[in-house]
Amino acid sequence: MSARSGIVLSAFERYRALVDDWAAFAAAVVRPQPHALRANRLRVAPEELRGRLEARGFRLAPYPWAPEVMRVEGGPCPPGSTFEHWLGLFYLQEAAAAVPVVALDPQPGERILDLSAAPGGKSTQIAERVGPSGLVVANEADPARAGWLLANLGRMGVASAVVTVCDGRRFPAGLAFDRALVDAPCSGEGNVRRDPRPRRPPRADRLRRLASLQEALLRRALALVRPGGVVVYSTCTFAPEEDEAVVDAVLRAAGGAVEAEPLPQALPGVEGAGGWDGVAFLPEVRRARRIYPHHLDSGGMFLARLRLRAPVPWAEEATPPPEEAPDEAAGREVRAWMEESFGIPAEAFEGLHVYRSGERTWLSTLPRLPLWPERWAAGLPLAHWTGRHWWPSGFALHRVGRLARRQVVDLEPAALRALLEGQAVPPGPPHASGPAGEPLRRGLVIVRYAGAGLGLARYDGDLLHAAFARERARQLLGCLEQPGGMPR
């Protein structure tokens, strides 16, 4: 055993009595963690994605409890360096992290709150399940992390989400949610396989601070769901102080208004702890689930599913938030501009509503949206006004760029690489644009590859100059440089 392995295992020694197979646990926590991905069913069927990647040399194995989640058993390059990942056809998500949303079991058309949503893996997973008629409120307290959350929602093409920036302990009441997820900030012990730094046992004062925050978040979520609604509490740590003890404290405070429900037997893991450090928990706390690294060859996860039977004692009276209607005038203006500029037909926006905030417009699948002061974003970024014309977002072009009929070029890998490297490149023949095969005009052009809209370039009458967002261009260039990273 290496020195690091010994330090890692010593940090977890206090959990030995809770772990079902200590030898398997000890072997798993010191091994590198394999990749896993979740197909984005808003954009692609899991079977189609699997076929595309396997055709380029990847080996994928779906998990039986969620076939859209697949273990990556091998491949020509890291899965995060593929064109499909760049386009948002899948999300890199360790298998254990996908379990809480499966346990939450969102249904089509429901209103779901993700109270601690960044970086967005679980919010995008929820959006897939509620579909275009459901509402996902993805909340994040940290504005910097909220930007990361918004980028992932955009990359995955989610148009049913509202992003709020708010301390989850004080999220505004008034909108009765059907379900809520509290994937709470925690000590993160279950992430040991992704973090090579040696670990020490968590300090008691830090555990107390975290448990106080976690309990407050869980109490708030229970005050925000309707009677009969469901809250799933999850962490990626092994510490009972942050797991069963938090659930136990909230159940006791609820005085029978909340019940811990059994989780589906098909889900991985073992039952929750019955007590810790000389303190016995309520018997129903055992209905929680502990997922250790050896169960899925993944990270660690704790989860409990709670059902609201009656209003919790700490719930307050509140009025529903005001609702915002789509900006019909802005919608007509942007859609007309995109049809005139790129030949994108009106039917590309069927079932989508345009909302405007300042100089920015957003696409949403919902005809009304709650309007909280804490709201940051309202759907999928569509376009912003530059002062002279609209500028479509790359995420919107992923959705509608394939339908462009003018001012569009389809590039081969070599030309695309040169463009992303900052070189000016000739456009080649335009993809059949206008009714008379009209030539490219000076100005903005949609760049496509393999039929997918990538972003914008400027055409000067002779050459194309890239106008991609810098970070997105860097990421796509990385895909081109990887063997197996791009479809040919």
Q: Which two tokens stand for residue 188?
A: 């993160």
Whether 236 is catalytic is yes
Do the Cβ atoms of 249 and 312 come closer than 8 Å?
no
| Residue in the structure block whose two tokens are 């709150």 | 113
Look at residues 423, 446, 5 and name the one whose alpha carbon lies nearest to residue 198: 5
Angle of CA points 161, 167, 170, to nearest 5°: 100
Cα 353 to Cα 349: distance, rounded to the nearest angstrom:
8
Tokens of 45: 């069927």
Q: Identify the active-site residue in 77, 166, 186, 236.
A: 236
Label residue 250 exposed, middle or buried (CB < 10 Å: 0-12, 13-18, 19+).
buried
* Residue 426: Cβ-neighbour burial (10 angstroms; 0-12, 13-18, 19+): exposed
- What distance, in Å, lies between the first and last C-alpha atoms of the chain? 45
What residues are annotated to the active site?
Answer: 236
